[in-house]
Structure 1
Amino acid sequence: MRRFLAGTTVIALLTAACAAGPGRPARTSGAPACDPRMDAAFTAWAAAGFSGSIAILKDGAFECRAAYGMADAAARRPNTPETVFSIGSVTKAVTAAAILRLADEGKLSLDDRVGKILPRLRGPVAEAKVRQLLLHTSGLNGTHGDDYERLSPDEALAAIGRLKLAFPPGTGYVYSNSGYTLLALVVEHLSGRGYRGYLGSAVLRLPGGRVAGGFWDGRPAAPGPRAVGYLDDGRPGHQGGFSGPYWGLEGNGGLAMSTPDLASWTHALFTGQVVTPASAALAARPGWPLGDGRSETPGWVAYDPSLYGERFLSAAGGGGDVGHNTVVAWVPAQRRAVAVASNTASNTASNTAGITAEALLKAVGPALLAGRPLPRPPAAARGGDLGAIVGTYRLDGGGRFQVAAEGGKLTVSAAGADAVRALTSPGEGGTESGSTGAALRAHEQRVLALLNGQTQEGRRERASLEKAFGAVSGLSLAGTITQGADTRTYIVLTTGKGPVLGWYAVNDQGGVQAAEVPAKPPALTFVPSGAGRFRPDDPTGAGPHVEIAFEGRRMTLTGARGAAVAERSG
């Protein structure tokens, strides 16, 4: 059983002009020339692992359309600006626009109770207002179905009605994929054309009549060549073909576009060409404060000027079984839309570490914003004979590391809670002490509560696991890591089919955000940093901050949690 939910992280820092092309990117005929310094920087990032495309639009005219890397590595087919990517949770911005457009047409009020619009809806969420669903303040927690579970509209409506609320509507915040599926059901009911029909005929239609993208699975499909996504373990992701019905994902994910289409649609939305200017202003207006200068808006996150000196809005989608990551930003003062998509995972267990769209923007965005030269990824030192250090290394606490070498890099995988903790020392200055350590421990307790069936969603999850693997007679923690904005707790299930390793990411209310069962052990790829030492193959610096060194039969891992020494066995 492998299951992911739509991506939930958001980051967008790219608010200054960008130009086309890394190294030998695919260029669109007529695209503006690239500033040589920027071209050289993006060449270096492409060589370090970024594969995808970038589109930047200002005042309706493209400043840049560029493509990098391979859309299909096996077929040696390159990405182009026309390559189509799954946009994941950016779909929520489109669903929100559909709701705002229906309000413009007088078919609903944002203060309507959703149960009034959908009389067959049962359960406490029926009392939530449309506005609260848009802002993730309805209280809905948990999931109504897996991404590629066959669910009809009626089945989805019934499943959402059975979900409990984490709090009374309007009194708190919890990100909810199910809430946006409920909004899609509202569109399905009120539009007269169905959710997909209404998006294709009205919401995704650009000035001039062309439709921006379509769906990854089913019809109307996004036209154009598709990028093959690559998952954490290097395998190709889901490439479409799910026959539906699609209501596990409808409304909260599932759309696909090229980056020029996404930038064009974003410009059209915020300039009042998809919805009325008043509704466009509402989409951009901070609605629910998230802290740190961020606020939820209908389908977007608004960032105030205190963060980067410029107000902007962002939406992002990633994770899932497709293997894509997409981020889009709108900078009102500059009337600039930026869209970036990638088709490789972050630091994978293979020896080809990828750089996601979000990670690239995080690395280069501040320099772009300030008009400084773009930073480049650090170069790796020469590693010598890596074969001599390949093998299994054990900690005194029982955990172990498996070290493999290929292509001048090391891949280190961890088994056991103490090994996982040592390998995944928190990045970005995080430490095991204080709030970070407490947050990791709290996450573990929420995962244990879930899998022990202490919640409604947990009982469904336990039943799903037992259906796949047989009776679950025990479970144990195998370590907790932070990966990007996500926290993942690894667990080992004792089942009728033997031990099964998996991981869960849950929110503060215990709802599942993402999960993978079974899963491979957590692993990092390392590159030489000189004098027998190695650092993570993570040019953006977003991952764990840990270094490893080898001396004789010993491997020492040093990170924010201190040092751990493992002895080679055999």
Structure 2
Amino acid sequence: MRGLLTGLTVAALLTAACGTGAGREGTAARPAGTPRTAATAACAPGIENALRAWAGAGFSGSIAILRDGAIECRAAYGMADVAEGRPNTSGTVFSIGSVTKAVTAAAILRLADEGRLSLDDRVGTLLPRLRGPVAKATIRQLLVHTSGLNGTHGGDDEPLSRDQALKAIGRLKLAFRPGAGYVYSNAGYTLLALVVEQLTGGYRDYLSSTVLRLPGGRLAGGFWDGRPAAPGPRAVGYLEDGRTGHQGGFAGPYWGVEGNGGLAMTVPDLASWTYALFTGQVISPASAQVVARPGRPLGGGRAETPGWVSYDRSLYGERFLSTAGGGGEVGHNAVVAWVPGQRRVVAIASNTPKVSAEDLLRAVGPALLAGRPLPRPSAAASARDLTDMVGTYQLAKGGRFTVTAAAGRLTVSATGADAVDALAPPRAGGGTDGSGGTGRTDAALRAHEQRVLALLNGATQEGRRERASLEKAFGALSGLALAGTITEGSDIRTYVSLTTGKGPILGWYAVNDEGGVKAAQVPAEPPALTLLPAGDGLFRPDDPTGAGPRIDVAFAGGRMTITGARGTLTAERTG
């Protein structure tokens, strides 16, 4: 079953000035271990050196920073295609995932500029064939995720026609009456794309003929699947489990992802389009102000706006807007930020999970904003012989760890709830995590588990659909058990062991507070953590950004000892 990952906005900012070069690309000396790329930077030397260090730590992708529409910093690192030996460049195309919502919102606002709709129109008025309670929601409510829509209407690569999508969305129950709450909704943005389709005769045609046109007429990107395709060489996405991501070629129809996540472009084009949007060159200046003005309050200095999240000065002393997307089966991550006080855009995309675009922005943004030297990733300790640690280790309550070694690193995979909880404990305190969100307390993880159990036990409409989908794929579902819960970026993931007609299967689910599925992957590999030697016989997570779990792992006398937020646990070697 294909994972249905959604892109989530990040509270991160990258705003300090990079070099004032003309945006050319050349060659420069590179530190040992840093992947060579044909597209080196036009950035200030201090920033370039720091970015190269992050590339050496695992960032693979492209970066562009604009001010007043001109390139300040442009760089690319790592490999677009390892098998072919093809490097990332500033011309490499990435899927931008849920950043697509910003483009769909712009299409709606442009139609409002043209007098073809009002933001206070009910969506059922514009789409007469739409049935169900969402028909009473307004366009404005759909734009800021207050329509009440909860749950999914189709998979990313599920062939879904326009009429099928309209019917599926109409069948979704609302989490609350329109306007009475907030829940992030992919289905809501597909509904907005259906409005564009209805009023213009073609969502894709309208985007490519108007909304994606940069000043001067050049097209900024296109679609990852289908036509018009984003022109240029594509980055291969590399997934957490080692597989390569979906490279396009899905034959459609595309209404499972249309409007909420189907676009692709180069990073410089994403930065240029964002600048054109907020300076009134894609939509009217008045509509650009609608996007920029804080809308639905989200707490923590954040507010939803059409296609974006606005952050006030309380985080870093500078107001900005940001949106991000990625995950799923493509394996890309993209993030873009607009800093109105500086007329600056920062855009980053990545194609590997080690240091994603959002990870990088989170790690270096505060220092750049303050004008301080950029932080460098943590350095790996000297390599050592790790073969003695390889094996299987059993916990007293039944969970187990499987330890493998390669390239001076250990990879530990966890099976069983007690093993997963030991390897990925919640962040203590539940406070701000540095990205504007909140740390995940143990109570939050346990509450998430109960929502996942309710979903898979068929307690909701979406849960009954999910069970039917699982049984269609794997046979009768006769049992399920919790298999551990972790945090992954902005999401909580609960692993479940499913007893099916085809045998036991492991999967994971991420759900929102109302129990709607945000992301899922069934079947899935057990969660795993890569460890580096840290001296004194200890191993710690290979986590250059410091955003992951803080644990120490030691091996001695046939035992594996893990010390973290939950105290100390010992597992006995069994093989």
Please give the range of the TM-score, normalised by the shorter of the 2 chains. over 0.9
Aligned counterpart in structure 2 of residue 91 of structure 1, from 69, 87, 100: 100
Q: Deviations over 1:217-253 (max 9, x none)?
A: 0000000110000111121100000010000000000
CA distance in structure 1 between the partners assigned to 2:565 and 2:221 by the alignment: 44
CA distance in structure 2 between the partners assigned to 1:483 and 1:396 by the alignment: 26
How many Å apart are 1:435 and its aligned residue? 7.5
User: Equivalent residue for 2:243?
Assistant: 235
User: Equivalent residue for 2:154?
Assistant: 145
User: Equivalent residue for 1:132?
Assistant: 141
Structure 2 residue 357 is matched with structure 1 residue 367: no
Structure 2 residue 208 is matched with structure 1 residue 200: yes
The answer to whether the Cα contact below 8 Å between 1:395 and 1:419 also exists between their aligned partners in 2 is yes
Aligned counterpart in structure 2 of residue 532 of structure 1, from 509, 531, 537: 537
User: Equivalent residue for 2:85?
Assistant: 76
The answer to whether the Cα contact below 8 Å between 2:426 and 2:442 also exists between their aligned partners in 1 is no
Q: Report SS of the residue matched to 1:308.
A: coil
User: Equivalent residue for 1:379?
Assistant: 379
User: Equivalent residue for 2:434?
Assistant: none
How many Å apart are 1:208 and its aligned residue? 0.2
CA distance in structure 1 between the partners assigned to 2:289 and 2:110 by the alignment: 13
Q: Report SS of the residue matched to 2:309.
A: strand
The answer to whether the Cα contact below 8 Å between 1:26 and 1:81 also exists between their aligned partners in 2 is no
How many Å apart are 1:384 and its aligned residue? 2.3
User: Equivalent residue for 2:47?
Assistant: 38
The answer to whether the Cα contact below 8 Å between 1:390 and 1:405 also exists between their aligned partners in 2 is yes
Aligned counterpart in structure 2 of residue 483 of structure 1, from 484, 488, 492: 488
Written as runs of structure 1 = structure 2, the 5 A alignment for 1:464-479 is 464-479=469-484
Equivalent residue letter for 1:256:
A
User: Equivalent residue for 2:435?
Assistant: none
Q: Over aligned residues, Cα RMSD in angstroms?
A: 1.5
How many Å apart are 1:382 and its aligned residue? 2.2
The answer to whether the Cα contact below 8 Å between 1:12 and 1:328 also exists between their aligned partners in 2 is no
Q: Report SS of the residue matched to 2:289.
A: helix
The answer to whether the Cα contact below 8 Å between 1:480 and 1:490 also exists between their aligned partners in 2 is yes
TM norm structure 2: 0.95
User: Equivalent residue for 2:125?
Assistant: 116
Equivalent residue letter for 1:344:
T
Structure 2 residue 444 is matched with structure 1 residue 439: yes
How many Å apart are 1:10 and its aligned residue? 2.2
The answer to whether the Cα contact below 8 Å between 2:77 and 2:88 also exists between their aligned partners in 1 is yes
Equivalent residue letter for 2:142:
L
Written as runs of structure 1 = structure 2, the 5 A alignment for 1:283-298 is 283-298=291-306
The answer to whether the Cα contact below 8 Å between 2:9 and 2:308 also exists between their aligned partners in 1 is no
Distance 1:9 1:563, change over 3 A: farther
CA distance in structure 2 between the partners assigned to 1:529 and 1:444 by the alignment: 33
Structure 2 residue 255 is matched with structure 1 residue 244: no
Equivalent residue letter for 1:457:
E
CA distance in structure 1 between the partners assigned to 2:235 and 2:11 by the alignment: 22
The answer to whether the Cα contact below 8 Å between 2:208 and 2:228 also exists between their aligned partners in 1 is yes
The answer to whether the Cα contact below 8 Å between 2:38 and 2:87 also exists between their aligned partners in 1 is no
Equivalent residue letter for 1:171:
A
User: Equivalent residue for 1:406?
Assistant: 406
Structure 2 residue 334 is matched with structure 1 residue 334: no
**Greater shift after overlay, 222-231 or 4-13?**
4-13
CA distance in structure 2 between the partners assigned to 1:294 and 1:328 by the alignment: 16
How many Å apart are 1:561 and its aligned residue? 1.5
Structure 2 residue 565 is matched with structure 1 residue 560: yes
CA distance in structure 2 between the partners assigned to 1:120 and 1:111 by the alignment: 19
Q: Deviations over 1:61-119 (max 9, x none)?
A: 11111100000011110000010000000000000000000000000000000000000
How many Å apart are 1:39 and its aligned residue? 1.8
- Which structure 1 residue ranges, 5 or more long, are not aligned? 346-353
Q: Report SS of the residue matched to 1:333.
A: coil
User: Equivalent residue for 2:436?
Assistant: none
The answer to whether the Cα contact below 8 Å between 2:507 and 2:524 also exists between their aligned partners in 1 is yes
Distance 1:435 1:390, change over 3 A: closer
The answer to whether the Cα contact below 8 Å between 1:26 and 1:66 also exists between their aligned partners in 2 is no
CA distance in structure 1 between the partners assigned to 2:50 and 2:36 by the alignment: 13
Q: Deviations over 1:509-554 (max 9, x none)?
A: 0000000000000100001001211111110011122221111111
CA distance in structure 2 between the partners assigned to 1:364 and 1:198 by the alignment: 37
User: Equivalent residue for 1:518?
Assistant: 523
How many Å apart are 1:2 and its aligned residue? 2.6
How many Å apart are 1:430 and its aligned residue? 4.9
Equivalent residue letter for 1:66:
A
User: Equivalent residue for 1:348?
Assistant: none
Q: Report SS of the residue matched to 1:334.
A: coil
Q: Deviations over 1:379-432 (max 9, x none)?
A: 11124220011101111011000010011000000011100000001247659x
CA distance in structure 1 between the partners assigned to 2:4 and 2:551 by the alignment: 27
- Which structure 2 residue ranges, 5 or more long, are not aligned? 20-24, 432-438
The answer to whether the Cα contact below 8 Å between 1:504 and 1:512 also exists between their aligned partners in 2 is yes
CA distance in structure 2 between the partners assigned to 1:206 and 1:149 by the alignment: 31
TM norm structure 1: 0.96
Q: Deviations over 1:271-329 (max 9, x none)?
A: 00000000000001111001100000000000001111000000000111100000000
User: Equivalent residue for 1:210?
Assistant: 218
Aligned counterpart in structure 2 of residue 155 of structure 1, from 157, 161, 164: 164
Aligned counterpart in structure 1 of residue 177 of structure 2, from 143, 164, 168: 168
CA distance in structure 2 between the partners assigned to 1:281 and 1:561 by the alignment: 47
User: Equivalent residue for 2:17?
Assistant: 17
CA distance in structure 2 between the partners assigned to 1:16 and 1:363 by the alignment: 14
The answer to whether the Cα contact below 8 Å between 1:453 and 1:462 also exists between their aligned partners in 2 is yes
CA distance in structure 1 between the partners assigned to 2:11 and 2:212 by the alignment: 23
Written as runs of structure 1 = structure 2, the 5 A alignment for 1:276-315 is 276-315=284-323
User: Equivalent residue for 1:426?
Assistant: 426
User: Equivalent residue for 1:393?
Assistant: 393
CA distance in structure 1 between the partners assigned to 2:307 and 2:153 by the alignment: 20
User: Equivalent residue for 1:463?
Assistant: 468
The answer to whether the Cα contact below 8 Å between 1:89 and 1:318 also exists between their aligned partners in 2 is yes
User: Equivalent residue for 2:196?
Assistant: 187
**Greater shift after overlay, 545-554 or 336-345?**
545-554
Q: Report SS of the residue matched to 2:478.
A: strand
Q: Report SS of the residue matched to 1:201.
A: helix
Distance 1:465 1:287, change over 3 A: same
CA distance in structure 1 between the partners assigned to 2:440 and 2:130 by the alignment: 40
How many Å apart are 1:35 and its aligned residue? 2.3
How many Å apart are 1:17 and its aligned residue? 2.0
User: Equivalent residue for 1:66?
Assistant: 75
The answer to whether the Cα contact below 8 Å between 2:99 and 2:334 also exists between their aligned partners in 1 is yes
Q: Report SS of the residue matched to 1:6.
A: coil
The answer to whether the Cα contact below 8 Å between 1:27 and 1:66 also exists between their aligned partners in 2 is no
The answer to whether the Cα contact below 8 Å between 1:301 and 1:315 also exists between their aligned partners in 2 is yes
